[in-house]
Amino acid sequence: MPFRRFSKRKAEDAELASELQAHLDCEVEENIARGMPEDEARRRARVKLGNQTRVREEVWEGNSLAWLEGIRRDLLYAARTLARTPGFSMTAILVMALGIGATTALFTVVHSVLLKPLPFPHVDQLVSLREADAHGNVRDRAVAGGNYRDWQRGSHSFTSMALLVNYGQYNLSGAAGALPERIDAQVATASVFPTLGVKPYLGRFFNASDDRSGANGTVVITWGFWKRRFSGSPSAIGSTLWLDAKPYTVIGVLPEWFHYPDAKTQLWTPLVQQMPPEMMQSHGAHNFWVLARLKPGVTEAAATAELSAIQAGIRKRFPDGPISDAVSSRPLLDEAVHQYKPALFTLLAATGCLLLIACLNVANLLVARSAARRRELAIRMALGGTRLLLIREQASESLVICALGGLLGLGLAYLALLAFAETHLDIPRADSIHIDLPVFLVAVGVTLLCGLIAGLIPAIGSQDHQVVRVLQESARSSGGQARVRLRRALLALEVGLTVVLLIGAGLLLKSYQQLRSVNLGCTTQNVLTMDLNLPDGKYQQPAQTVNFYEQLLDRVRRLPGVRAAALTTDLPGRGGEDDAFTIQEHPPLPKGDWLDADVRWVDPDYFATLKIPLVRGRTFLPNERLERRHYVIVNQALVRQYFPHEDPIGKHIIDENNDDYVSGGKLIRPRTPTGNEIIGVVGDTRDSVNGPMAATAYYPIFGGIQSSASLAVRTQGDPNQLALPIQKQIAQLDPTLPVANLMTMDEMIGQSTQQSAFNAFLLLAYAVLSLLLAAVGLYGVLAYLATQRTGEIGIRIALGAQREQVMRMMLVDGLRPALAGLLCGLAGGVAAAQLIRSMLYGTRPFDPAVFAAVTAVLLAVSAAACSVPAWRASRLDPMEALRTE
Amino acid sequence: MVLASLPIEHLGESMAGKSSRAEMLQGTLDMLILRTLVLGPAHGHTIARNIEQTSEDVLVVEQGSLYPALHRLEHRGWLSSSWGPSENNRKAKFYKLTPAGKKQLVAETSRWRQMAAAIGRVMGEAEE
């Protein structure tokens, strides 16, 4: 009610004015009717009615809220003061906008990705489970199907459990004429949706009879896929999708909000139906992960301990082979995002630093302003202005700056997030990144907090209660020392934070550089790559697969501009699988121990195509294929690790795990249990740009047991020119076969270092910005000092001081806070570097080059910032200076 | 209790004043306005004139008190207002008694009666 009156008081005032006028008119008419001349009538009426403005003021005040009025007046006054110095105001507002914008944007990302709970009922009961080792050395190992069975039977801590695996991609071949597509899918046991607590939008989810070996194929589709592929028609239920050339009946549609585990996933198929029965029994074939819902009241730790005991029992029953003896767990959200935590929190901390620097800078500028207005404030206080009133006035100035900055910053954050969402689709839950109410409230809170910090530091630091002293003070006296000290302290803090940011940015940048220049162990120049996946339904016999591979290579190699072409299951830098093995010629290992190496399947020309050197022995022969595939080539890392003092050629590697294997979630046919003869040794390559040179065993892809492969083509000129001709060749061989991830090796490396580039460059941008702010701050303080000491410097020069001396004196004065800040910053940088350790690659946290470079840059920039006012001071004309009073 | 809320000194001044035209008291003015509007809707000028005439020019209504009072009464919901043509065809703001205003008038009238009687008794004793 009072607020409505308050907001409508202008309109009411206007109405009252016309009402009073009407009253006056009536009075005049009456007077005229009494026979007065018009002038006299008007005058008498006015006299009788008295002061109209007084009436209006009284009503106006009755409609006002005193405190709101006070704030309004303060803000108006502050706005007017700021408008008088547009340069200062614009700078301050922009600085705050950048700080608040960056903080809001980063907080939005952190909030959406890391903090917001997953949209499932009682989400705190959901955990992910993986195998681990009892000594705590290994956690997050994939779960074997047999273990899942035993956990399910033996445990009492869970209401339900589901077994899942990221299937990778299905080839979706449409009805006649529709384009073939690669579709991301998850494979999970029927219990997955009940465990998550999801209800179907349409149709039903899997039941036990769908999810058993030998059942007909069924598929649950996401809402987005349903809209896109079936235009949201209910008749989608019951229709057939051809996935990897096998028929699947669509039985259900997920609700629109369901984007688990990521936005890419579009299909779900039943796991037991998809996987071979042996895999569901095996205790050593680690392929899956487990999602489970805790019973109410059961803690995660207790449940994990129960499962660990079960797993230790399994280990006792099967002392051989790669079988785990413990279980590790995480909250479900952590499962998806734990790898993004350090980077996002580092960036958020850096943004906080930037914001603090921005605040300090604005505070610093305000201190300078209030110093200039010292006398004015003292006079006002002498005239009865209370200290609180004056503080409120100063604080409102910084609040206005921060509010405008915050508004602008929110806009910046919005734009930044648009750009971020487009470039970071790989981050889980990227689709949920947007500014919502909590984020908005945080932004408003941050803005107010900044306003208070920036406003209260100068207000509280001032000593204006010594009114008389200030008023008596002549311009030449050393008044304002407290302010200078305050500004120096602020500045040192600012410089310190800048140094921390610079060090962080320097370390990340160096890591990024190391990553980019990393030697994968093969050529990356002019190499075009693409992924193929031969559907099991169509390529049932190994011979069919091999036939396709051979024809493809033959056709591609004959294209003009192609230097070499090869097939592999996993390219260097693209990860891949590893497996357990033993060496036939070596003494048997203790029970339950096994060796481990990465495994790849390649064609005979693979090493020549990627220029991986053949160190010893030979590569595969063309006739070492299909049944004659018992040969293996190893890399130097494997020789160093497992054949340190002997000749590996002619030795035999035995697959230790005789279960069926899964590669990228896909079944491959059993490997030979007899040994594979080592025929050659090749140079090392890396699985990932930031990974080590791992021990690797290469098997012949022409064995025909691998249905997915990457084609690598080394070309004469620009590799992209060959993309189309190669795709045409593939289409001629199999028109239903889609091609995925078509890119050059260099692009691939660029992609895998993108995240680290993003972190490094963002932090660098912050660091440069704060360096600029610190420089402005240094300049400001010294310029102010110089003006304040004009008289003193004038006297010194008049008495014969050399200009160089004056300049040196001023420089030292200005550099002192910078040096203090630098020392604090270096100390802080060492601490910060420890915190971002996990994000560094090939760079020590205490990297002398980075620390030296930061010190040098900071000194140079502060010297430059200080030299201008120092030089100006040394050029003072003494007469002029002394006259300035 | 009730007595304390009445500014007696004003009352005394007006009664003892040389001018027979008395100044208006705030609480009293509100009551008089409400009473005047029982006769029907009226605009500010009519209200003032009406009070003056009915009191045979003993009470004079200052514009400076009238309009803030009207405003106050309207905000309390005792009056409603609308613009309309006055008797000599000018635009004027007419005030009308609301049901709440009528109730308030009843309450104030009885309060005033008690008050006047009480003051009367006090003054009567003093004179005797």
pLDDT digits (tens, 9 = 90+) for A108-151: 888 888 888 888 889 889 999 999 888 877 778 889 888 999 99
- Note whether B42 contacts A: Cβ–Cβ < 8 A: no
Q: How many domains does chain B have?
A: 1
Indicate whether B96 pLDDT > 50: yes
In a domain, residue A552? The reply is: yes
Is A329 a domain residue? no
Interface membership of A51 toward B (CB under 8 Å): yes
A371 contacts A483 by C-beta, under 8 angstroms? yes
Query: Does residue B43 belong to the interface with chain A, where contact is any CB pair within 8 Å?
Result: yes
Task: Return all residues near B107 (Cβ < 8 A) that are at least 6 apart.
Answer: none
Q: What is the pLDDT of residues A512-543, one digit of tens each?
A: 888 777 788 888 889 999 988 888 778 888 88
Q: Does a structural domain hold residue A480?
A: no
| Span A482-488, average pLDDT | 73
DSSP line for A62-87: HH--HHHHHHHHHHHHHHHHHHHSHH
Distance between CA atoms of residues A287 and A438, nearest Å:
39
Q: Do A22 and B72 touch (CB under 8 A)?
A: no
Q: Is B94 part of any domain?
A: yes
- Is the confidence at residue A459, as pLDDT, over 80? no
Nearest to B67 among A19, A27, A48 (CB): A19
Q: Do B86 and A20 touch (CB under 8 A)?
A: no
Q: Is the pLDDT assigned to residue B14 strictly greater than 50?
A: no
- DSSP, residue by residue, A41-63: HHHHHHHHH--HHHHHHHHHHHH
Question: Do both A557 and A661 map to the same domain?
Answer: yes
A625/A542 Cα distance (integer angstroms): 10
Query: For chain A, how big is the Rg over CA atoms in Å?
Result: 38
pLDDT tens sequence across A331-349 = 988 877 777 788 888 888 8
A2 touches chain B (CB under 8 A): no
> What is the overall mean pLDDT for chain A?
83
Distance CA A614, CA A682 (A): 4
- Look at residues A14, A39, A64 and tell me which one is the last residue of a structural domain: A64
Residue A801 lies in a domain: yes
DSSP collapsed to 3 states, A779-795: HHHHHHHHHHCHHHHHH
Give the number of beta-carbon pairs within 8 Å between A and B: 55
Option in B64, B67, B88 nearest A16 (CB): B67
| Residue A610 or residue A23, greater confidence | A610
ipTM of the complex as predicted: 0.72
**Domain range for B85:** 3-116
Whether residue A129 is contained in a domain is answered as: no
The reply to whether A288 and A160 lie within a common domain is: yes
Q: Which pLDDT belongs to residue A160?
A: 93
- CA A128, A131, A135, A137 torsion-angle sign: negative
Asked if the Cβ–Cβ distance from B45 to A22 is below 8 Å, we say yes
The distance of B44 to chain A (nearest Cα, Å) reads 7
> Could A26 and B90 be called an inter-chain contact, meaning their C-beta atoms sit closer than 8 Å?
yes
Sequence-ordered alpha helix ranges (H) in A155-247: 192-196, 223-230
Other Cβ atoms closer than 10 A to A372: 13
Q: How far, rounded to the nearest angstrom, does the alpha carbon of residue A104 sit from its chain's CA centroid?
A: 13
Taken in order A621, A627, A630, A632, the sign of the CA dihedral is positive
Residues A263 and A352 in one domain: no
Residues A422 and A311 in one domain: no
Q: Point out which residues pair with A129 in neighbouring strands.
A: A290, A329
Nearest by CB: A50 against B64, B72, B75: B64
Contact status, residue A457 vs residue A363, Cβ threshold 8 Å: yes
B71–A50 C-beta distance less than 8 A: no
Question: Which residues in chain A have Cβ-Cβ distances shorter than 8 Å to B43?
Answer: 19, 22-23, 26
Number of domains chain A contains: 5
Chain B residue numbers touching A50 (CB-CB < 8 A): 62-64
- Helix, strand, coil % (nearest 5) of chain A? 55, 15, 30
Residues in chain A within 8 Å Cβ distance of B48: 23
Question: In Å, how far is A31's CA from the nearest CA of chain B?
Answer: 13
Q: Which domain holds residue A464?
A: 73-123+339-473
Nearest-Cα residue of chain A relative to residue B61: A49
What pLDDT band is residue A469 in, cutting at 50, 70 and 90? low
Give me the amino acid identity at A502.
L
Distance, in Å, from the CA atom of A578 to the CA atom of A655, rounded to the nearest integer, reads 11
Element (H, E) at A814: helix A803-835
Phi, psi of A162 (to 5 degrees): -140, 150
Of the pLDDT bands very low, low, confident and very high (cuts 50, 70, 90), residue A672 is low
- Please judge whether A52 and B63 are an interchain contact, meaning their C-beta atoms are less than 8 angstroms apart: yes
Whole-angstrom CA distances from A816 to A273, A461, A568, A579, A812 are: 73, 21, 62, 61, 6
Closest CA to A165 of A134, A144, A196, A193: A144
Nearest CB partner across the interface for B45, out of A5, A27, A55 = A27
Specify whether the CB–CB gap between A58 and B64 falls below 8 A: yes
Three state DSSP letters for A376-396: HHHHHHHCCCCHHHHHHHHHH
Distance from the B126 Cα atom to the nearest Cα atom in chain A, whole angstroms = 37
Distance of CA A245 to the CA centre of its chain: 38
Is B124 inside any structural domain? no
Q: Give A883's pLDDT tier (boundaries 50, 70, 90).
A: confident
Q: Write the pLDDT tens digit of every residue in A160-179.
A: 999 998 877 787 876 545 66
pLDDT band at A612 (very low <50, low <70, confident <90, very high): very high
Tell if the CB–CB gap between A26 and B75 is shorter than 8 Å.
no
- What pLDDT does A664 receive? 39
CB contact under 8 A, B92 and A5: no
- B81 lies in some domain: yes
The CA distance from A558 to B63, in Å, is 106
Report yes or no on B75 lying in a domain. yes
Please return the burial class of A395, using the count of CB atoms within 10 Å of its CB with bins 0-12, 13-18 and 19+.
buried
Residues 328-387 of A with CB under 8 A from B: none
What average pLDDT does range A851-876 have in this prediction?
87
CA A525-A531-A533 angle, 5° bins: 160
Facing B86 at nearest CB: one of A5, A26, A48: A26
Task: Return d(Cα A191, Cα A212) in angstroms, integer.
Answer: 12
Residue B121 domain-assigned (yes or no): no
Omega before residue A458 within 30° of 0, cis? no
Is residue A146 located within the same domain as residue A262? Answer: yes
Question: Is A23 in contact with B91 (Cβ distance < 8 A)?
Answer: no
SS3 content of chain B, % helix, strand, coil (to 5): 60, 15, 25
Residues A587-598: pLDDT tens digits? Answer: 877 666 678 888
Give B-chain residues touching A52 at CB under 8 angstroms: 63
For residues A156 and A304, membership in a common domain is answered with yes
Q: pLDDT tens-digit profile of A204-258? A: 999 989 998 888 999 999 998 898 888 888 988 998 888 877 889 999 999 988 8
pLDDT at A749 over 70: yes
Whether A19 sits inside 8 A of B45 (CB atoms) is: no
Which among A616, A620, A615 is positioned nearest to A603, based on CA atoms?
A: A620
Residues 11-40 of A with CB under 8 A from B: 12, 15-16, 18-20, 22-23, 25-27, 29
Which band of pLDDT confidence, cut at 50, 70 and 90, is reported for residue A666?
very low
Calculate how close chain A gets to B67, using CA atoms only, in Å: 7
Q: What CATH number should be reported for the domain holding residue B8?
A: 1.10.10.10
Whether residue B68 is contained in a domain is answered as: yes
Query: Is B123 part of a structural domain of the chain?
Result: no
Calculate the average pLDDT of chain B. Answer: 75
Quick one: closest CA in B to A15, which residue? B93
Interface with chain A: mutation pick from B63, B66, B76, B90, highest number of A CBs within 10 Å: B63
Q: Is B79 on the interface with A (CB under 8 A)?
A: no
User: Is residue B103 a part of any domain in this protein?
Assistant: yes
B3 pLDDT higher than 50 = no
Instruction: List the single best residue of A55, A56, A61 to mutate versus B (max B Cβ within 10 A).
Output: A55
For testing the chain A interface, which of B24, B29, B66, B75 should be mutated: the one with the most A CBs within 10 Å? B75
Let me know whether A54 and A147 are in one domain. Answer: no
Residue in chain B nearest A58 by alpha carbon? B68
Last residue of a domain, one of A277, A294, A323: A323
Percent of chain A scoring above 70 in pLDDT: 92
* Domain identity same for A102 and A177: no
The average pLDDT across A812-827 equals 88
CB of B64 within 8 Å of a chain A CB? The answer is yes
Secondary structure (3-state) at A534 = coil
pLDDT at B86: 77
- Grouping H, G, I as helix, E, B as strand and the rest as coil, residue A571 is coil
Largest CA distance in chain B: 55
